[in-house]
A and B are shown apart, each in its own frame.
Chain A
Amino acid sequence: MNTMIVSPSPHVHGKESTRKLMGDVIIALLPAVLVSIWFFGLSAIHLVCVSVLACVVFEFLIQKFLLKGRSTVGDLSAVVTGVLLALNLPVCSPWWLIVIGALVAIGIAKMTFGGLGQNLFNPALVARVVLLVSFPVLMTGTAFHAPETGYLFGNGDFASAALDATSGATPLGFVKEQLAKGVAMEEIMATPGLSYTQLLFANMGGSAGELSAIALLLGFIYLLCRRVIKPWISLSILVTVFVFAGILYLANPAKFVDPVFHILNGGLLLGAFFMATDYVTSPMVTKGQVIFGIGIGIITVLIRTFGAYPEGVSFAILIMNATVPLLNKFQPKRFAVEAQKK
């Protein structure tokens, strides 16, 4: 008889693994990446490749030489961070900006806490915020312009036309700027490039991942179908933003942006679908998840409407990330305790 294995039950394991889950997230992000490549061509490919490569290399090096552990590159979490970081950066970011971002994301936000699963804040978002604060000009405003040479084999004409129309700023930034100048809301919305259909399919201003709401939605639906995530966080963010922005809009339509514009614009969908739902930095129990989402929604609208920055999703998610250990104190419904009360 050959030596038999003896182990405690259960003796079989489900099909899920960390790598498979991460793989699913990458697949879900593909539509957004493809849209960005469709419009910006090589620049977008360059962005995604540099970002993913940098993240993976940093993870590998830190794990090997600083943490001295088993290589964790295989779990694909660094690739996910890389793709998310790329989608959070302007398409024309110089390579060094991307590499700094990757270093911040992997080196500071993830590995200092002990690697996958230990970090308090979403690595890609930490990187984005650090870059946004450190290099505001590169991260917003005119940097969204097409380079002098135009986009390589991308749909450049379309892009630059839209960008020219909004004077190079992101739509949210543009609207905020115009509102500050005292221009009426209706007038602003009449600007070409801000129509809803455009936002839905190809919104030209903003980061690489903010191009198309439809592409992001596709990815989200894929994640739901594969049961990688539950919809509660994303839904509660969207509903909160819609309701809160709606109340403001109803109070004074001339001064506040309408809720649909809020939802379709900027990084909200990207944030709600892919960043806020990050396992590590979101609560586990539905109750906590809903509160988490509501918090993100409120903070986003507050920053967008009253804050100095035109965009607030990243900050909102990071702020709510900090509350996750507390929100995890919400316990699931216990089977037995519930019965005791009866």
Chain B
Amino acid sequence: MNTIIFTIATLAILGLLLAIVLYIVAQKFKVEEDPRIDTVESLMPGANCGGCGKAGCRAFAEAAVKEGVGSLFCPVGGNAVMQKVAEALGQTVEEKAPQVAVLRCSGSCDKRKKTSVYEGISTCASVAALYGGETDCAFGCLGKGDCEAACQFGAIKVNPETGLPEVDEEKCTACGACVKACPKQLLELRNKGPKGRRIWVACRNKDKGAPARKACLAACIGCGKCAKECAFGAITVENNLAYIDFTKCRMCRKCVAACPTGAIHEVNFPPRPAAASATKPVAPAAQAAPVQKPASPVAEEVKKEIPVQKQ
């Protein structure tokens, strides 16, 4: 019995002594910091994704306190967080349109024939370093999922059926990690658009029409029909490739109907009237390719999944 009491007493005294020492040391060597940094950091989503261009949420907070919030934007927290941060620092910020990553390739397996088989480590970076890819299109998606591995939010998954990555728009925070990871620069951050509606050219093929079409049935052949159709001057065609400026696009969908290969994609639009779809035989193809899951109200939850190391 005595032993037990003695043991407990010794340990208790020892613990107390150490606690006092720790407290004194902590007080003595306290680092003076602007308390607002902590305040701002507590407002941050804590994903530490680096999407803002800083090393993490703490670095963002430091920058926000030092340089002001004007030049910063947290893509994960979006406008809500930015408003809170600005409020905490007594500043104001402009609202930014929410963005989402979109894939600029529609070369699914059925559209783009494989002409060679790649063997080696399964990363897009490795394929891109070696050659143009398994299909004849040297610009298209390689399908090895570097974007999926780069996404901290589990918002991108490569669909084994189409061989293309799909962006889950409710999980996507537009941090831009996938944009950096893609060796073919196929992912682009675009405005989410009103009611999540957006239109983009899902192709990056700069080849002339004939070889582009030969390599992929859904390729942009640079015919320029879309640009002629567009009343707002949002579409430019350069190097045999069309591009839609999302700041100018008014979502009229005329270009989608005009595209002969279905390279222009639209999402979250209501179904078209029957007459319009009858004149456009390739419309179903356009919808079939990279399906973007429509947004649902249960969003917010940020999954901090560590990307699985590819072995």
Contact = CB atoms under 8 A, between A and B. Distances in A.
A and B touch in the complex (CB under 8 A): yes
Nearest to A5: B117
Contacts of B117: 3-6
A6 B126 contact: no
Interface string B125-149: 0100111001000000000000000
B270 interface: no
A8 B119 CA distance: 8
B114 A6 contact: no
Interface in B105-132: 114-120, 126, 129-131
Contacts of A340: none
A5 B116 contact: yes
Contact of A8 (B116, B120, B134): B120
Given A8-B126, A8-B130, A3 B119 contact: no
Interface in B60-118: 114-118
Contacts of B119: 5-7
A7 B116 CA distance: 10
Nearest to A6: B116
Contacts of B131: 6
A3 B116 contact: yes
Nearest to B116: A6
Nearest to B113: A3
Contacts of A6: 116-119, 130-131, 134
Contacts of A4: 116-117
Interface residues of B, number: 12
A7 B129 CA distance: 11
Contacts of A3: 114-117
B120 A7 contact: yes
Contacts of B120: 7-8
A4 B114 CA distance: 10
A7 B115 contact: no
Nearest to B129: A8
A8 B134 CA distance: 13
Contacts of B129: 8
Contacts of A8: 120, 126, 129-130
Nearest to A7: B119
A1 B124 CA distance: 25
B122 to A, nearest CB: 11
A90 B131 CA distance: 59
B308 to A, nearest CB: 14
A6 to B, nearest CB: 5
A189 B120 CA distance: 62
A143 B300 CA distance: 68
A8 B116 CA distance: 13
Contacts of A5: 116-119
Nearest to A1: B115
B249 to A, nearest CB: 39
A261 to B, nearest CB: 48
Interface in A1-35: 3-8
A67 B120 CA distance: 25
Nearest to B115: A3
B118 A7 contact: yes
A4 to B, nearest CB: 5
Interface in A263-311: none
Nearest to B119: A7
B228 to A, nearest CB: 39
Contacts of A7: 118-120, 130
Nearest to B134: A6
A4 B129 CA distance: 18
Nearest to B114: A3
Interface in B205-226: none
A283 B130 CA distance: 34
B131 to A, nearest CB: 6
A8 B121 CA distance: 9
Contacts of B114: 3
A3 B118 CA distance: 10
B120 to A, nearest CB: 5
Nearest to B131: A6
A196 B111 CA distance: 78
Nearest to B126: A8
A148 B120 CA distance: 61
A5 B126 CA distance: 15
A10 to B, nearest CB: 11
Interface string B166-178: 0000000000000
A90 to B, nearest CB: 41
A8 B129 CA distance: 9
A4 B136 CA distance: 13
A4 B117 CA distance: 6
A13 to B, nearest CB: 12
A4 B116 CA distance: 5
16 contacts: A3-B114, A3-B115, A3-B116, A5-B116, A5-B117, A6-B117, A6-B118, A6-B119, A6-B130, A6-B131, A6-B134, A7-B119, A7-B120, A7-B130, A8-B126, A8-B130
Interface of B: 114-120, 126, 129-131, 134
What 7 A-B pairs are tightest by C-beta distance, nearest first? A7-B119, A7-B120, A6-B116, A5-B117, A8-B120, A4-B116, A8-B130
Given A6-B130, A8-B120, A8-B126, 11 more contacts: A3-B115, A3-B117, A5-B118, A5-B119, A6-B117, A6-B119, A6-B131, A7-B118, A7-B130, A8-B129, A8-B130
